[in-house]
Amino acid sequence: MRQLFIACLVCFATVAFAQEKEKTKEKANYALAAKFSPEKLKKLIHSTTVSPNWINHSDRFWYEYSSPAGKNWYLVDPAAKRKSLLFDHDDLAAKITRIVRNPFDGQHLDLKDLRFTDDEKRIQFEVQSTKDTIKSKEEIAKLKNKSDTIKKKVFHLEYDLASGALREISDQTKEKNTLSWANFNPDTTRVYFAKKFNLYWMSKADYDKAVKDEKDSTIVEHQFTTDGVLNYAWGGDEYSITTGGDKEEEEKRKAVYLSWSPNGRHFVLTRKDGRHLSPLWVINNVGAKRPTLETYKYQMPGEVDSTETELYIFDAQTLSPRRVGVAAYKNQTIGIWRKDRDKSSYIGKRYVGYWHGNNEEFYISRSSRDLKRIDVLAVDINGNVRTLVEERSNVYQDIHKPYLVNDGKQFVHWSQRDGWGHLYLYDIQGNLQRQLTSGTYNVDDVQAYQSAGNTILFTANGKENGEDPYFLHYYSVSLNGGTPKLLNSGDFDHQITTSESGNYFVNNSSRVNTTPESNLYAANGRLVMKLEKADLSALFAAGYKFPEPFTVKAGDGITDLYGVMYKPFDFDSTKTYPIVEYVYPGPQTEAVNKSFGRSMDRIDRLAQMGFIVITVGNRGGHPARSQWYHTYGYGNLRDYGLEDKKVAAEQLADRHPFIDVSRVGITGHSGGGFMSTAAMLVYPDFFKVAVSGAGNHENNIYNRWWSERHHGVGEKISAKGDTTFTYDIDRNSVLAKNLKGKLLIATGDIDNNVHPANSIRMAEALIKANKRFDFLLLPGQRHAFGDMTEYFFWKMADYFSQHLIGDSKMDEVDIMEMNREKPLSR
């Protein structure tokens, strides 16, 4: 009996211990992550920025802004310092209801394609009804299923701003959207396009027929080039776009990138022979009844390129081309700059793409294949070429369009020649006048020129002491020299939109840990009026908490790196959490948010599973710092950022006892997919789990432009003067034997950017190294994973939860967190 009693005590103790252990076991918080899904965030976060719609190229503008109370439309007159509702919402809703005969109310108005009339006295817009109507003949003509003739009627309405009168108007009064293939000449009497690899034009009258029915047999087309063929086409072959060899595709009209002289007498374009380039293929297994083979040209780094870009000037009267001799470097790149869009770019409502220059000459860039030599050139209508600026460097360089000032007698040039992006004033002959900006900060770009004060307005970052150096600000500086003036102070990231005159700008400002605000300023930095402050009350009521910016040192112990930490919203400082790094290594950007709300569903939500998630920069990352920082990875494009990711996590763990640095995960997409796998192989004892999406694991087969630009390509000139190129880069697959942790590799099967071969070759190397790993193929998906993005998120959440927390729902078949978001129709 005594033995039985003891046995029972042992049994009870065992059960109690198991129950206590179950209580203390870490749990992945699926419910909290699901609470902040993209669909739910749409209802918690409304407008956070003001996007001004400048009215008829003036300083007046309107904008729409949403809050938990509904959507409002506002009219702003900066000169009068007046902001007002564009209309009485309740009154307009009642008037729409009378005409449309569907019920509307002021809180739920949904106005589409709102626009001002030319006299600015009325607005026109569209509303959807539930009334059935017959599709137009033009719409039916475009249908594959000709019996599908019914649609819901869209009402076209016009509202008088002064009287408040609302009336229905014909849809024929609306300016038709320009057909995607149409390139208008400056007097809009002709429309130019490409077809069957050659150049054509049609009259405006025939174009109007095409607007109604593109297959109208009475349309007359005029062909004026005859030697264009596939992959050596006039007008260019679309880059990295699948063709499929469809003959019907050749018959379609396509856009051609013509740049016109202001007087319309000449236009210019480039042509490149890509027939020798090797193709790539993907198989679309789910797009049609039969799996289809898609074929497209794709240049890989280091490959031989036997032809050069050709530059042509056409006489618009004779339509005869003149080839311009601009050859200087083998496999050089030619960039034709276009004039910035302004009022003069439109004839009526028709946009005309003017070249950057005047009637006699235009400006282009010429870059060597390795981007160590870049020239700014002026080309006249007779084909004469003169060099305005030469940029030289031992690493790759960036180039900006020259900004013309003083009636085209001078231009402002952007250069990194002193190690930072700065502005230089030249005369139109290419003589340097003076350096306009200098110092340890980066000029982003010129936004406007004001002739009255002979000043330019530009954006820059890193100039204000004590701020995150990535925060963008707006400045003015005199072309006569002097110190730049700050126009939008405040320790925030500032995104600006300038009126065409440059007299005013809308300033949207925030940090990751502040509520966004939008204000209107004059060009001198004077606050004209406050516009909006985002209403985040519903988001905070749901439990949201701002993330926390931080600064750490890079692996050299000197360079400051800037990051953001995302915690679970139910964070408990007495617990310890695994840490996951979300990465994108650059060099064209870094995956570190600077203002509120960007990529919230991807990073904040992952933290809710029970992780500390961080994003942090790395040497060789974002170009908005010094050229030294930006090009740090030159020649070492696999490993350049890994040390910084490792030491950042270590420093944060030293500061915060709630971070468990023995449980480190890493994830990213594209370059981040490549980097997360590389981290597992270079530091296999530190990074324990990775989820790598669409990674370019084999940069020797990724596209030539990105790989050669950022890693570098060797140019060799023989004694005979022949130029060849060599390319060598470290690949993830050669380190497959180093894998120790858990790795999930994912790719879309028709990714025509980072080809699936990148992931498949990585898988092959791991298999040959006898490694266990996981592989996810997303059918019918391109590079961004499309409509399977949400599925991929939950697979990633499962994977990290299982291997870093020890708890997941991977044994459940249904992803209930997704199913709950979708209404079941049957």
CA distance 363 to 401: 9
User: Among residues of the chain, what percentage have pLDDT more than 70?
Assistant: 93
Q: Please name the amino acid found at residue 704.
A: R
> What average pLDDT does this structure show over 171-178?
69
CA distance 695 to 689: 16
| pLDDT at residue 239, as a whole number | 46
Same fold, 181-272+308-399 and 546-694+735-819: no
CATH code linked to domain 546-694+735-819: 3.40.50.1820
Residue 99 contacts residue 127 (beta carbons within 8 Å): no
Indicate if the pLDDT at residue 286 is higher than 50.
Answer: yes
**CATH fold of the domain at 181-272+308-399:** Methanol Dehydrogenase; Chain A (2.140.10)
CA distance 414 to 409: 17
> What average pLDDT does this structure show over 81-94?
96
| pLDDT at residue 176, as a whole number | 67
Question: pLDDT digits over 52-71, tens only?
Answer: 999 999 999 999 999 999 99
User: Among residues of the chain, what percentage have pLDDT more than 90?
Assistant: 81
| pLDDT at residue 597, as a whole number | 83
Residue 773 contacts residue 743 (beta carbons within 8 Å): yes
Q: Is the peptide bond before 587 cis (omega within 30 degrees of 0)?
A: yes
51-55, 296-300, 805-809: range with lowest mean pLDDT: 296-300
Indicate if the pLDDT at residue 431 is higher than 60.
Answer: yes
What is the separation of C-alpha 303 from the centre of its chain, rounded to a whole number of angstroms?
Answer: 28
Domain extent listing, the chain: 53-173, 181-272+308-399, 546-694+735-819
3-class DSSP state of 39:
helix
Residue 495 contacts residue 508 (beta carbons within 8 Å): yes
Bridge partner list, 510: 493
Shortest CA distance to 713 belongs to which of 698, 729, 697? Answer: 729
Question: pLDDT digits over 92-124, tens only?
Answer: 999 999 999 999 999 999 999 999 998 999 999
- Contacting residues for 643 by C-beta, under 8 A, at least 6 apart: 554, 555
CA distance 179 to 182: 6
> What average pLDDT does this structure show over 430-440?
97
Confidence class of residue 312 from pLDDT cuts 50, 70 and 90? very high
| pLDDT at residue 240, as a whole number | 44
Indicate if the pLDDT at residue 145 is higher than 70.
Answer: no
The structure's pTM equals 0.92
CA distance 802 to 530: 48
Residue 109 contacts residue 93 (beta carbons within 8 Å): yes
| pLDDT at residue 138, as a whole number | 64
Confidence class of residue 297 from pLDDT cuts 50, 70 and 90? confident
What CA–CA distances, in Å, run from 239 to 19, 59, 254, 272, 666? 61, 38, 14, 12, 32
CA distance 348 to 355: 19
3-class DSSP state of 240:
coil
Spell out the alpha helix ranges (H) of 695-788.
Answer: 704-711, 757-768
Confidence class of residue 170 from pLDDT cuts 50, 70 and 90? confident
Shortest CA distance to 624 belongs to which of 493, 435, 434? Answer: 493
> What average pLDDT does this structure show over 282-292?
90
Question: pLDDT digits over 738-778, tens only?
Answer: 999 999 999 999 999 999 999 999 999 999 999 999 999 99
**Residue 44, token pair as written in the block:** 């918690």
Question: pLDDT digits over 215-254, tens only?
Answer: 899 999 999 999 999 889 998 766 445 555 566 777 889 9
